[in-house]
Amino acid sequence: MTINAENILFISSILLIGSIIASKTAGKAGIPILLLFLGIGMLSGSDGIGKIYFDDPNIAQFFGITALTYILFSGGLDTKWQSIKPVLGAGLTLSTVGVLLTAVSVGVFVHMISTFSLLEGLLLGAIISSTDAAAVFSILRAKSIGLKGNLRPLLELESGSNDPMAYFLTIGLTSLLALPDFTLSELIPVFFIQMIVGGAGGFLLGKLIVWVINKINLEYEGLYPVLMLGMVVLVYALIDLLGGNGFLGVYIAALTIGNGKMVHKKSMIKFFDGVAWLMQIVMFITLGLLVYPTAILPVVGLGALVSAFLIFVARPIGVFVSLALFKYKNRDKLFVSWVGLRGAVPIVFATFPLIAGVEKSSLIFNVVFFIVLTSVALQATTLPIVARWLHLAVPDGLKRRSLLDLELSEDFKNALVEVELPENSLVDGLKIWELDFPKTSLIVLINRNEKFITPNGLTEVHSGDKLLVMMNMESEEKHIKEALKI
């Protein structure tokens, strides 16, 4: 096939549409979507039926970093401070101490069972030390399983905040192996600079972005998400230029923005949720194209040993030690250990030693890819079983959703309207049952001084109340206004 713009667009659209359609069936079957997207990429590559030749780790790394930036931002934007506050200490300990312990234990193990030097083993351990909770929760939601206690926010916080630590360890160890003059003493101050600049910079830039969005007053609402797209990349790039950790900065900025008061925030969250899915698909397919299945076969033995050690030894060590000072039961720690799911991030990180020309970097990349495949195939598919076995699963019966977020079909006969009672309203103090409302209309929510009340027939209405009214047909609007005397 001739390589031109039209053919590239055609192939890209087929891969994207096919991945989304296939994910619908895969989700119902309990197959991790991550595994599906990687598989589509591998099948489309030069070793697969698609015969698309792709062998550029620089491009794959660029796509991976860009995608990870938006995925982290989307996750932070939709994370509520109230939910992660009780687990802040435990989550940050998991994402720092837990990652370090996982990397060190895997590194020592790899050094002992293979020809890898200790530094090369530690580099492999660092690359696979971070987790991917996005695939975890897609499986839990598909099986309608909730988690008891604070396990869900703990896993969300860990997954959003452990990538910076793994990134730092990967870059530091790659530098130690690739640069002869680089020493460990230079690495320690870099760590503190990256974390301090990343954390403080992300918080300050997040506050600045909230102020800009609220003050800029754009003429078209659709431009706000576009503006935010640019700002997300700016946060990463600016913090990176200042010597900070860009991933940490983006996540902290997203937390700050998501928990601040900002116009169009709900539409922003929905928009970036779609962007995050697009980035995941692009990243997974690109990384799938980069790997050659024939190169994976020679590392199956080593990969299986390292994967088993990571799942059954290294991850539990990191979790149990990190949570030793926190009030978690052993079954909670066991489940958190099993949720140490490796995703596309380790594959992205494995491109750094490839580009730096580190010896055995190709071997490291292939081993990492195999570990990710086994981790997803084994852990993700068994999460619901393990949750029930440890008695941590609860039915996810009620799905919290705002009435304002409902999307009604065009032929839906009912309508939601908001009615604000004026000052000195003629119905002030009347109970809802005393209002001469049409029988097919219903007040479903009352906004009183920014406090929301779920009403019943005995609830009084007052001047200044904002009533959310559901009516059976638009013709009832006149009767509702007459009943409220407005």
Q: What is the pLDDT of residues 276-323, one digit of tens each?
A: 888 888 887 888 888 888 888 899 999 999 999 999 999 999 999 999
Q: What are 428's two structure tokens?
A: 């002030």
Q: What are phi and psi of 468, to 5 degrees?
A: -95, 115
* Mode of pairing for the β-strands spanning 466-471 and 145-147: unpaired
Helix ranges (DSSP H) in 128-183:
133-142, 151-161, 163-178
Task: Domain 412-484: give its CATH code.
Answer: 3.30.70.1450
144-183 in b/e form (b: 16+ CB < 10 A) is ebbbeebbbbbbbbbbbbbbbbbbbbbbbbbbbbbeeeee
- Say if residues 86 and 150 touch (Cβ distance below 8 Å): yes
**Residue 337: what pLDDT?**
95
Domain spanning 56-395: CATH 3.40.50.12240 = no
C-alpha distance from residue 475 to each of 407, 415, 420, 481 (Å)? 21, 10, 19, 11
**Residue 208: what pLDDT?**
96
**Residue 157: what pLDDT?**
87
**Residue 441: what pLDDT?**
84
**Residue 10: what pLDDT?**
81
* pLDDT tens, residue by residue, 49-94: 767 777 888 988 998 899 889 988 988 898 888 888 899 999 999 9
The reply to whether 56-395 and 412-484 are identical in fold is no
- Chunked into runs of 10 residues, the chain (486 residues) has average pLDDT values of 68 77 61 70 74 83 90 87 89 95 97 95 95 63 64 86 91 90 82 93 96 90 92 96 93 94 87 87 82 86 96 96 93 93 87 92 93 86 86 60 50 69 88 84 87 87 88 76 83
**Residue 410: what pLDDT?**
47
Which residues, in sequence order, are bridge partners of residue 420? 466
Residue 50 DSSP class: S
Which residues, in sequence order, are bridge partners of residue 147? 393
**Residue 207: what pLDDT?**
96
End-to-end CA distance of the chain: 68
Helix H, strand E, coil C: the string for 196-253 is HHHHHHHHHHHHHHHHHHHHHCCCCCCHHHHHHHHHHHHHHHHHHHCCCCHHHHHHHH
The pTM assigned to this predicted structure is 0.77
**CB-CB neighbours of 42 under 10 Å:** 22
Name residues whose C-beta falls within 8 Å of residue 36's C-beta, 6 or more positions apart in sequence. 19, 22, 23, 26
- Say if residues 77 and 257 touch (Cβ distance below 8 Å): yes
Q: What are 60's two structure tokens?
A: 């794959």
**Residue 438: what pLDDT?**
81
Q: What are 234's two structure tokens?
A: 């700016």
Domain boundaries, the chain: 56-395, 412-484
Identify the burial level of 221 via C-beta atoms within 10 angstroms of its C-beta, where 0-12 means exposed, 13-18 middle and 19 or more buried: exposed
